[in-house]
A = this chain, B = another copy of it.
Amino acid sequence: MEITKRELYNFKDRKLPEKICFKPIGIIHTEFKTLKGIPIQFSQSDSIGTIEIFHDYEPALKDLDGFSHIYCLYFFDMVKPPVPLQSKPFLIDEIKGVFAIRTPFRPNPIGLSILEILEIKGNLIQVKNIDILDRTPILDIKPYIPQFDSRETNKIGWLHGKIKKKTS
């Protein structure tokens, strides 16, 4: 049965959930079969791979091919909790809070990469800029919209002076 109605829970029953559960909507196929050698940032990666959206969700891809980039949200399924709340990022030898770095070792190990769409065929999205382990479960796909998502700022905390100029 096709679902057409968008429904909300009743406000009067609302309370903070103790646990929030999701189901993977797909899986990504990449060249990175082990954790060693994965690029530390998608923006520095030219690697190409394929997001396989499970067939149940294929209708949700309609007209995504008009966009150049997506946000891909995924689950770092190899991270074993609990994680430290502070650790050293790749680029400097100082301890930072994990909410101030992009480490996979986070209280909720959700990954966020912006990937370029090369082609969409059926339930398969061929993407570039991959920094993700092969067979990682995918949680969500959203269109990247520079008018909303691009922010100009030079206030980048501990990263100041640590990033090589991006070639364009």
Which residues of A are in contact with B by a Cβ distance under 8 Å? 2-9, 11, 14, 16-25, 27, 34-35, 41-43, 53, 57, 59-71, 73, 75, 77-80, 82-87, 95-102, 105-108, 110, 112, 114, 135, 137, 139-160, 163, 166
Contact = CB atoms under 8 A, between A and B. Distances in A.
13 contacts: A9-B77, A23-B107, A41-B148, A42-B148, A43-B149, A62-B96, A63-B97, A63-B157, A67-B156, A102-B145, A106-B140, A146-B151, A147-B163
Nearest to A25: B107
A149 B63 contact: no
Copies held by the complex? 2
A34 to B, nearest CB: 8
Contacts of A84: 2-6
- The 7 A-B residue pairs with the shortest CB-CB distance in the complex, in nearest-first order: A66-B157, A62-B97, A68-B155, A64-B100, A68-B153, A22-B108, A99-B141
Nearest to A142: B102
A141 B87 CA distance: 15
Nearest to A6: B105
A150 B14 CA distance: 36
A111 to B, nearest CB: 10
